[in-house]
Amino acid sequence: MFGEAEQAFSGIDVLVNNAGIMELAPLVEIEDEMFDRTTAVNLKGVFNGLREAGRRLRDGGRVINLSTSIVGTYFPHYGVYAAEALTHVFSKELGARGVTVNAVAPGPVETQLVMTGKTEAQLQAARERGPLGRRGQPEDITAVVSFLVGPDGGWVNGQVIRANGGAI
């Protein structure tokens, strides 16, 4: 992927790590296969993207990791879902090159990841948790990412922005 982007655009300026899966269960019920699958995408996938970005991103570039606001709630069953430490560490490692590294942590957004496998009562509860009284839309998150990768986001580094409508 990085090679193709370098060839097509003569270099890489932005990486948005946005792949993620969400399988939920109490920690005592999580089998190794579920843990391995979740960490392969949500942690190792981010790690692999960051490592290549560190090697290939042009100076002054931007890295955005998608996380989740749920990590701040410590809700049951979300034990293996997300890790934000990589964002903080990598922002320090690449800072000398002018590369910023941030995370956007959405709240409940109407995506397949959020909408699949939940009851209507769970979806209603998520909508009611926030003072805005709605779930987010993908455009709500892309606006934050656009700010961070654009020229106005150049002074923001090592941050986790909880784009959640105040829900969490």
Tokens representing 89 are 């560490």
DSSP state letters, 102-114 = EEE---SBSSHHH
Range of weakest confidence among 20-34, 47-61, 104-118, 137-151: 104-118
Alpha carbon separation from 98 to 56, 58, 130, 133, 156 (Å, rounded): 14, 9, 36, 38, 11
**H or E stretch covering 4:** helix 2-9
- The per-residue pLDDT for 73 is 66
Alpha-helix runs per DSSP H in 74-157: 85-94, 112-115, 120-129, 138-149
Q: Tell me if residue 81 is catalytic.
A: yes
User: What is the average pLDDT value for the chain, to the nearest integer?
Assistant: 89
Q: How confident is the model at residue 93 (pLDDT cuts 50, 70, 90)?
A: very high
By the 10 Å C-beta count (0-12 exposed, 13-18 middle, 19+ buried), 33 is classed as exposed
Task: Report pLDDT digits (tens) over 31-51.
Answer: 999 999 999 998 899 999 999
Q: Fold for domain 2-161?
A: Rossmann fold (3.40.50)
Q: pLDDT digit string (tens) for 73-87?
A: 666 656 555 568 889
Can you give the pTM of this predicted structure?
A: 0.86
The encoded tokens of residue 35 equal 């843990």
Spatial distance between the Cα atoms of 153 and 118, rounded to a whole number of angstroms: 35
Q: CA 139, CA 156: separation in Å to the nearest integer?
A: 21
Q: What is the pLDDT of residue 78?
A: 61
Torsion of CA 106, 108, 112, 113, to 10 degrees: 70
pLDDT in tens, 112-134: 877 788 888 888 887 777 788 88
Domain ranges of the chain: 2-161
- Catalytic residue, chosen from 68, 81, 136, 163, is 81
If pLDDT is split at 50, 70 and 90, which confidence band does 22 have?
A: confident
